[in-house]
Amino acid sequence: MRVARTVAVLTATTAALGLSLATAGSASAAAGSWKAYGNTNPITSSSATWGCHGSVTIASSVLAQVCAIRSAGGGAVQAAVIVRNNRSTLFSVSAAADLWTSAGSLGDWACSSSGVGANSWSVCFGKSLAESAPVNSVGTANGVTLGQSSTV
């Protein structure tokens, strides 16, 4: 699913007006990968710097947030979508994110539908890329727009 910069701008505009926005999918996104974290918070357990947008409810008791990540050494970046399932049952999620610099898109990634365990965290990661310029990310989870991450 491609998440274009235009979607981020439109999302901010429609959010201010109290409207909703759906994003369309695209076959051009590269494959992302899911990583299960169980009950360990992926942000606080990492030595990398995570710049994230606030959590967005994508279903009852299920939250997601889009992030841009910079490696501890500073030379690598990647996009991510964190999902927290607070339900007592498995929850199926698909996610997508783009990674941006001020010069434009570094790429977009999509993670196909996967089960996020009960009361646990899972993260959809894009590919790690060498990049020294500041980056941010926009993303979706189950078709819900997650906004734009802070810059790292």
Q: Which pLDDT belongs to residue 27? A: 54
| Domain CATH code at residue 26 | 2.60.40
Q: Which pLDDT belongs to residue 28? A: 78
**5: pLDDT strictly greater than 50:** no
Contacts for 13 with CB less than 8 Å, ≥ 6 apart = none
Helix (H) or strand (E) holding 105: strand 104-116
Specify the pTM.
Answer: 0.83
The span from the CA of 62 to the CA of 24, in Å, is 22
Residue 15: helix, strand or coil by DSSP? helix
pLDDT digits (tens, 9 = 90+) for 17-74: 232 233 333 457 899 999 999 999 999 999 999 999 999 999 999 999 999 999 999 9
CB atoms within 10 A of CB 80: 28
Are residues 139 and 123 in contact, defined by beta-carbon separation less than 8 angstroms? no
Strands 129-130 and 76-85, bridge-based pairing:
antiparallel
The span from the CA of 140 to the CA of 56, in Å, is 10
**77: pLDDT strictly greater than 50:** yes
Q: Which pLDDT belongs to residue 48? A: 98
Average pLDDT of the chain?
86
CA distances from 57 to 64, 140, 147 (A): 6, 11, 12
Q: What is the domain range of residue 43?
A: 5-148
Mean pLDDT of 88-104: 97
Q: Is the dihedral of CA 41, 31, 102, 129 positive or negative?
A: positive
Domain count for the chain: 1
